Amino acid sequence: MNLKASITLATLMILSPLAGAQDAASCGEQPVEPTIVDGAASTFEQLIANGKEVNAYIAEADQFLDCSEARYIRISGSRIHKDILGEQIKSLTTRHNEIGDELNAQVAAYQAANPQ
């Protein structure tokens, strides 16, 4: 290996963790979960407002997951990064679904507490 190739290889080895860090940040921050209101103790307006917060969270989480899955495919050659990102995607997907289910349960609790 000549000197120029050695310098290039050394530079790539130094920059590769930085590229990984930049790639990890390319999807932005994971969305913040909304607090789910207690349907049995909430007003209709509070429940509607909470539903809007949950819908916004789900939309942000979907965008984040789409980006993360694309990133997962790009780094699939790196087992360490792939495993970590795979767990993050799995965890967010699970929580994303649970939050929707929690809101639905609180809508049912509201309806039970406020029969029409």
In a domain, 10, yes or no: no
Q: Which residues contact 103 (CB under 8 A, 6 or more apart)?
A: 36, 50, 51, 54
pLDDT at 22 over 70: no
In a domain, 57, yes or no: yes
In a domain, 23, yes or no: no
pLDDT, residue 34, reads: 94
In a domain, 75, yes or no: yes
In a domain, 24, yes or no: no
Q: How confident is the model at residue 83 (pLDDT cuts 50, 70, 90)?
A: confident
In a domain, 19, yes or no: no
SS3 per residue for 85-114:
HHHHHHHHHHHHHHHHHHHHHHHHHHHHHC
Which residue range forms the structural domain that includes residue 65? 30-113
Q: Which of 17-21, 24-28, 83-87 has the lowest mean pLDDT?
A: 17-21
In a domain, 78, yes or no: yes
- Cut 0.85: pTM above it: no
Instruction: For residue 28, report the phi and psi dihedrals to the nearest 5 degrees.
Output: 80, -165
Query: How many domains is the chain built from?
Result: 1
In a domain, 41, yes or no: yes
